Structure 1
Amino acid sequence: MAVAPLSLANIQGDILFGLPKQSQSFFLFKIDQPDAFRANLANLVPLITSAQQTKSNITEIKKVKLSQKLRANEGDGEAVHPDIVTVSGVNIAFSAKGLEKMGIVGDLGDFLFKSGMKEGALDLGDNMRQLPDGAIQPDWDDAFLQEIHGVGLITGDSHETLNQKLTSVKDILSNSVQEIATLSGDVRPDDQKGHEHFGYKDGVSEPAVKDVESFKPGQTVVDQGVFLLGRGDDAFQDRPSWALDGSFMALRKLPQLVPEFDKFLLDTAGTQESADLMGARFVGRWKSGAPLMKTPTKDDPELGADANRNNDFKFKANDQSGCPFAAHIRKMNPRGDLGESSITSHMVLRRGIPFGPEVSDEERKSNKTTQERGLMFVCYQSSISSGFSFLQQTWANNPSFPFGTTTEPGFDPLIGQTSGGGVRTMTGAFASNSSQPLNLLAQWVNSRGGEYFFSPSIPALRDVFAKA
């Protein structure tokens, strides 16, 4: 059967473009009354923000920023101050257990989605803990150990806008769901906008979706079917018709130990200048976003801010003098180490947001985290096993990847995990001796839980999921 042409009005807005936001809440819920929930969903559908509306909002924000002589940031999904533009967004997604609870029948063809993230936590390298009865479970926050049926993604340009929209969503669903938790995040303030809590500019290497958006120099253009079910190169062709234009969402809570990370760099490198270089070699970019492959010895903020130059490079195969094999951006997008066709099928669209307060003076002085902060990680793909799970297990957690190098790369120092308690190692951290191994004495990003969800198309929400 021929598939109708892609319509942005049919796709939930967070998938292809990322809902513009200064603040975001993730409303995790359990469905208590399936029939009532599906009836309530009919009232929620008009609030769902489409990709078409999201694209329009982003265009307006950039236009206003330029008129106000503000930098129109690329790729970080941020909104502007509500005094300039007011914008909010609502999307919704469901776990496999949530679909089952609603009686939505059909094989979506993804075994990891069906089994849930908790079932595969050990394979992802998450820490585990033994219960008094001898059973083993992930060392996660209690919210993610429960059976989660769905998540509402609510965004806003301010806490006030966000809370108003969040209240509306909860009111619509109130008599049919049980709230498990509402987790919130905020774009970081001032010159840290678009940066995660370690301080590095985020979202620079986002791929472009073919025939959906224009692309910049160095940006990978990826087939729609890598992200949207039923499109293009989507490998699984026997999904139910209502799965068209949906996407699998991976949600992860990733606390970051920032003072400890900074102390390790300084203690290991010796001087702040050397620590900054080592940190850049951990990431593959300087904090400004400038790539090591273009400026290997010092940061270049002008380059980091230039979206037409900061992603236009490739790594040199079997050479980590410029950038370590294990550097985070090289593990996640090994351009030059592998052919493009071996990379694009594993790409994801990242839509996360930082959470938690800025590091306090007391934490910096003590070199110890006392207030939880980190990243609410979100990504979209048409196959979890080819996307998020593959990136975490086969590339980030694999000390031998990239394969075929004369020096073993080691773990991704940021997100690479080992649940066995062994010390992670990497090579390439020392610019003066790129083959010298380094023991990563701590794991500065530790998963505290997550779940896999399916984000349906808006027509599917309206015509299949909702019940009048």
Structure 2
Amino acid sequence: MNTVASSSAAGMGVEIDDVQSGALRPRPVPYEGKFVFLRVDDRQAGRALLRRLLPVTAGGLPDVDRSQDAWVALAFTYQGLRALGVPQESLDSFPRAFREGMAARAELIGDVGESAPAHWEAPFGTGDVHIALSALSSDAAQLDRELERARVAYEDTPGVQVIWQQEVHQLPTGRTTFGFRDGISHPNIEGVGLPGSNPQEAPIKAGEFILGYPDETGSLPPMPSPDVLGRNGTYAAVRKIHTNVAAWRQYLRANTSSAEEEALLAAKMVGRWPSGAPLTLTPEHDDPELAADPHRNNNFLYRENDDRGFRCPAGAHIRRTNPRDSTIIGDARMHRLIRRGTTYGPPLPEGVLATAPTGVWSESSSEHTLNGSLNSSRPSGSTTATSSATPARRTRWPGITAEPAVSPSRRSRSGAVCGICRASWSPGAVSTASCRVCVPCAGSPSWRTEDNSHPPRGPTRSSRRGRSHGSTIRPLHA
């Protein structure tokens, strides 16, 4: 078995060949992909399928030849493990959040209203999803070859049914449905052998992502029993999200008075310009040249240059997800994830303000699952898949909402100027006794000093409101 050890790992290498290839790697660029959900109707058939899929499932580090870089990965839900005949004693060793599933915990994790399970696309939330198969590649031909091998395996297995499929792809623009470049940041995981995207970030303990290794506290996170069921596995959070691009555009237009202000407001909400250039490094305007440089576009921290959030607000998407070295309560290094957002459906044409069925298929892996999105999107489906997991911890963070999180009587007058970024807003501004600030800047501790003015950290780890769910990817030989 290949054990990869970094110089900083102090001899604690990761058994990388025993970790599914899709668990720790960033999403390829460009990409094509497919997700398939399977239901196991016969226990012996399900076990036979796993034996057939074992040669298809990739493990280890990426291929140096990008044209050959494709992977197929598997994850199992609680109901799937039961259908495969995992003993009840082992099933009971999984955390309650995993055993119950997301539909039963919808109110706790914020899936209410339009996002309630009653509105989810079938078979999400039904308990029928037993095995989740995912495949991604930067080369369409290579993806087709890998998928064909997997297809032959599950279609030739009576007693296992395909109940749902979703194709994903990179948009022609190379950006998300909201018009922003994605997939820039990737953590440096100790002992794995893959470099992170931020040279200023110290390697993060492997136990924050993979079961069986110490985490940032120095402890081994709990695993299901027996240990072989969880070791070298991880959570894989799966969520299908409908992004209401038209509402996003309408909100930006209604709260700005020029194209320049519209671009700035959008950047403040995301934390980057559409090209991917970070506000922390270029706060006044977009910089495509900076964004295109992989050695610079994620090479920043917050404490030295932007601790108070004047450039990138504390409520911005990228800062909420990864506060880096910001002055916060707790330790941001205990909340990292590997997120692979992929797109389905056609893009909404530029300038169109009517809605269309497009969105983001989000897959995240972390020993402590954490994920989040702008509130201009809503889930259309969610499922929990695993073969080993730890509980989801919940904290409440200030969000960016369609309306300010203050009473209407406190909204500023039309034409107000933000006291932080100096842009002018109308309905989207909020005011305090001494200043007026726009919605993105409202999350910044530069004007709010109460305890909830920035993301809390510490003992309460979280799966954030909007799209949290636990799952694991596990090597098939276990």
Indicate whether the TM-score tops 0.5.
yes
CA distance in 2, matches of 1:110, 1:185: 31
**In 2: Cα distance, 1:308 partner to 1:271 partner:** 33
Compute the displacement of 1:220 (Å).
Answer: 5.1
Amino acid at match of 1:29: L
Give 1 or 2: higher helix fraction: 1
Once the two structures are TM-superposed, the CA of residue 429 in structure 1 deviates from its matched residue by: 10
Q: Which moved more, 1:93-102 or 1:15-24?
A: 15-24
Question: Secondary structure of 2:133's match?
Answer: strand
Letter in 1 for 2:436: Q
Task: Choose from 178, 184, 187 the match for 1:207.
Answer: 187
- The DSSP-based 3-state class of the residue aligned with 1:93 is strand
Which residue of structure 2 lines up, in the alignment, with residue 456 of structure 1? Answer: 474
Deviation at 1:236, TM superposition (A): 2.6
The match for 1:49 among 54, 58, 62 is 58
In the alignment, is residue 170 of structure 1 matched against residue 148 of structure 2? no
Tell me the CA shift for residue 246 of structure 1: 0.5
Describe the SS at the equivalent of 1:221. coil
- The two structures have a TM-score, normalised by structure 2, of 0.73
In the alignment, the residues of structure 2 paired with residue 4 and residue 335 of structure 1 have an alpha-carbon distance, to the nearest angstrom, of 24
| Change over 3 Å in CA distance of 1:141–1:217 after alignment to 2 | same
Q: Which residue of 2 aligns with 1:275?
A: 262
1:432 aligns with 2:418: no
What code does the residue aligned with 1:330 have? R
Name 1:27's counterpart in structure 2.
Answer: 36
Unaligned runs of 5+ in 2: 1-10, 373-390, 424-428, 430-434, 441-464
State the identity %: 25
Indicate how the Cα distance of structure 1 residues 429 and 202 shifts in structure 2: closer, same or farther if over 3 A, else same: farther
Task: Name the structure 1 match of 2:282.
Answer: 295
Distance, in Å, in 1 between the alignment partners of 2:269 and 2:371 is 20
SS in 2 for 1:282: helix
2:318 aligned to which of 302, 309, 329: 329
Distance in 2 of aligned mates of 1:368 and 1:340: 41
Shift of 1:50: 0.9
User: Residue 303 and residue 206 in structure 1: after superposition, are their counterparts in 2 closer, same or farther (change >3 A)?
Assistant: same
- Deviation per CA, 1:258-290: give whole Å up to 9, x if none: 233123212311111111111111111111111
Asked if 1 retains the 8 angstrom alpha-carbon contact of 2:184 and 2:298, the reply is yes
Q: 1:100 to 1:185 in 2, by over 3 A?
A: same
Between the aligned partners of 1:256 and 1:86, the Cα distance in structure 2 is 32
In the alignment, which residue of structure 1 is the partner of 2:84?
102
Distance 2:244 2:419 in 1: 19
**AA at the equivalent of 1:229:** L
Inter-CA distance 48–340: structure 2 relative to 1 (3 Å threshold): farther
Aligned to 1:223: 205
Poorly superposed stretches of 4+, deviation over 6 Å? 389-392, 425-430, 447-450
Displacement of 1:118 in angstroms is: 1.6
For residues 134 and 365 of structure 2, the distance between their equivalents in structure 1, rounded to whole angstroms, comes to: 13
Structure-1 residue corresponding to 2:25: 17
Stretch moving more, 289-298 or 160-169: 160-169
Q: Counterparts of 1:237 and 1:454 in 2: how far apart (Å)?
A: 14
Change (3 A) 1:162 1:299: same
Is the 1:99–1:149 contact (alpha carbons within 8 Å) kept by the matching residues of 2?
yes
Q: Which amino acid in the other structure matches residue 150 of structure 1? A: I
Find the aligned partners of 1:297 and 1:430 in 2 and give their Cα distance: 13
Correspondence for 1:394 = 395
1:38 aligns with 2:47: yes
C-alpha separation in 2, matches of 1:260 and 1:155: 30
Alignment of 1:250-261 (within 5 A): 250-261=237-248
Amino acid at match of 2:134: L
Q: Does 1:375 align with 2:356?
A: no
In the alignment, does 2:343 pair up with 1:354? yes
Q: In the alignment, which residue of structure 2 is the partner of 1:112? A: 97
Q: 1:140·1:449 contact (CA, 8 Å) conserved in 2?
A: no
Tell me the CA shift for residue 125 of structure 1. Answer: 1.6
Secondary structure of 1:180's aligned partner: strand
> Is the 8 Å Cα contact of residues 223 and 231 (structure 2) preserved in structure 1?
no
1:313-360, Cα deviation, whole Å (9 max, x unpaired): 233576232221211111111234346971111111112311111223
Instruction: Output the aligned Cα RMSD.
Output: 3.5
TM-score (norm 1): 0.74
**1:196 aligned onto 2:180:** no
Instruction: Give the conservation status (yes or no) of the 8 Å contact 1:188–1:196.
Output: yes
Q: Which amino acid aligns with 1:184?
A: E
Letter in 2 for 1:205: S
Q: Contact between 2:400 and 2:439, CA under 8 Å: does it hold in 1?
A: no
Distance 1:247-1:108 versus aligned 2 partners, 3 A rule? farther
**SS of residue paired to 1:104:** coil
Q: 5+ unaligned residues in a row in structure 1: which ranges? A: 62-84, 131-135, 400-410, 441-446
User: CA offsets, 1:173-229, max 9 Å, x none?
Assistant: 23132222101210222xx32x22112121223211112223442345211000101
Q: Given residue 221 of structure 1, which amino acid in structure 2 is its aligned partner?
A: P
Report if the CA contact (8 A) 1:320-1:428 is conserved: no
Judge conservation of contact 1:278–1:429 (CA < 8 Å) in 2: no
Equivalent in the alignment of 2:448: none
Letter in 1 for 2:344: F
Tell me, what secondary structure is at the counterpart of 1:169? helix
Matching residue's letter, 1:124: I
Q: 1:220 to 1:311 in 2, by over 3 A?
A: farther
Alpha-carbon distance between aligned partners in 2 of 1:16 and 1:137, rounded to the nearest angstrom: 29
Q: What does residue 123 of structure 2 align with?
A: 143
Any idea what SS the aligned residue of 2:51 has? helix
Indicate how the Cα distance of structure 1 residues 92 and 376 shifts in structure 2: closer, same or farther if over 3 A, else same. same
